[in-house]
Amino acid sequence: MYDPKHRQHILKNSLGVPYHVYLEQGRGLCIRMLSENKIWSRGYVLDKSAVDDFAAVLDKNDIIHFFYQTRDGKLMYGHGMHGQIEFRPVLESREPTPWPKYVSLMVIERTVILFYVLRYHDRYMLSMQTINDGKLSKPVVVDYIEGTSYAAVPDRDGKCHLFYPGSDRAVKHLYHRILNDDFSTFELTRKVYSTVDNIGFISAVLTEANKIHIAFEVSGDDFHEIMHMDLSAGGKPGTLYRSQTAPGFFGLIYNSGIILFFRVTDEDIYLRKSENGGTTWSDEEPYPFANNIVCFSYSSNHSRDKGIFAGEIPGNFTRGYQLAFINEEKSKPVSREMPTINNRADLSHDRMEREITLLKNLFRAMQKELTKLWITQKNLEKELAYLSRSYSELLERIELNAVYDTDKKPPSASADNISETAQTEDIFPENP
């Protein structure tokens, strides 16, 4: 069922290889890769102690970063740099049990920014830490927030934008803050919207023109309303939905010049579009999509997807995975008929282009195979570690048996023969 609190992550690298980061019951936090035949590999376990409170992003260098909570309430960070998955603790927990901390993260250049929500005296604190060149900062309280919803978005200039609801006595506000260039403190708080009603879920997207659009829910005793704002326009918010019925889950998606607003209720999806930067919107219409809808967070370094921004998007696992609203066939380059070649120079140039294309395809295939080998290597390393521990335990048992049998051996037997017999029986049992 679609629920942003239980989102899964689809991360596509610059070579077009998709990875799926998810939580598997009984195995923990896992990652797997999609083959060219649309078949998922077996999931590699990142941390069996992880719970369903995690986030993953792909940086510009195709390195995957993880941020998650464990069963004992600890917050952990991991990455795929240095050719292997490495983890480190971020924050210990006073309570040895997990409760939702609504973790998220982003990577700007060489700095990893981690956000999470803590409870303090029946209130919620939005908190932050950073990792710069491997150095973990101390926790910083950004602000007290109303509820647990917030949205963090990096823009194309390397700025981190943060949106969250707060209150000033009886008035509720939607705040906007920008992280300073040293990633240590925020600029002054800006009030984006104020109301006496409640402010709920927040969704934010970034356009190719480096403009941020947000959608947020405002609700009272007898109404539910979803507002939209273009922060660069400085205008008043517009209404995308208003009814006495709750809107369900919703979000914003940017796809190559078009802003999409969607709602999900049960297994039904409703869609509105804007092709002029949110100035006008189409009427809401049902969007046909298969069942078993889940919430994905989708990001891609592939050149075909550079115009897509989807912090949350409906999808399913048909033929690997399918994303609503995004038709990958349309995003492929349009094939054009090559002009007639009239001279040898053009022929040589055309042949060189074909050879370059073949080399690129070969490189991509090799990269995929290397990724498969890397995952296989990690599984083998786990098995070798297990065998090493088992072998050490066997040696200890053999030594203990040798000492015990030496004290009680019959006169005709030697300690060497007894030790050799015990080792053979232990290493090659009849029923392994």
Domain positions in the chain are: 4-328, 345-427
Work out whether strand 8-12 and strand 294-300 pair parallel, antiparallel, or are unpaired: parallel
Q: Residue 202 and residue 382: Cα distance in Å, rounded?
A: 41
In this model, does residue 31 exceed pLDDT 80? Answer: yes
Instruction: Kindly report the CATH class assigned to 4-328.
Output: mainly beta
Query: Which residues 6+ apart lie within 8 Å of 180 measured at CB?
Result: 186, 187
Distances (CA, A) of 295 to 212, 312, 377: 22, 6, 31
308: nearest Cα among 273, 240, 260, 364: 260
Percent of the chain's residues with pLDDT above 90: 68
Q: Residue 350 and residue 338: Cα distance in Å, rounded?
A: 9
On the CB side of 345, CA atoms within 13 Å amount to 0
pTM of the model: 0.76
In this model, does residue 190 exceed pLDDT 80? Answer: yes
Burial of residue 197, with CB atoms counted within 10 A of its CB: 0-12 exposed, 13-18 middle, 19 or more buried: middle
Query: Which residues 6+ apart lie within 8 Å of 120 measured at CB?
Result: none
In this model, does residue 358 exceed pLDDT 90? Answer: no
The encoded tokens of residue 349 equal 């140039």
- pLDDT value at residue 349: 65
Which amino acid does the sequence have at 346?
D
Q: Residue 106 and residue 329: Cα distance in Å, rounded?
A: 29
In this model, does residue 392 exceed pLDDT 90? Answer: no
Averaged pLDDT for residues 64-78: 97
- pLDDT value at residue 192: 96
Burial of residue 55, with CB atoms counted within 10 A of its CB: 0-12 exposed, 13-18 middle, 19 or more buried: buried
More confident residue, 201 or 334: 201
Alpha helices for 276-343 (secondary structure H) = 328-331
Crossing angle for the helix pair 344-408 and 415-427, to the nearest 10 degrees: 140
313: nearest Cα among 2, 100, 15: 2
Q: Residue 81 and residue 59: Cα distance in Å, rounded?
A: 11
Helix (H, G, I), strand (E, B) or coil at 293: coil
Q: Mean pLDDT lowest for which of 171-175, 254-258, 355-359?
A: 355-359
227: nearest Cα among 242, 240, 246: 240
- pLDDT value at residue 201: 96
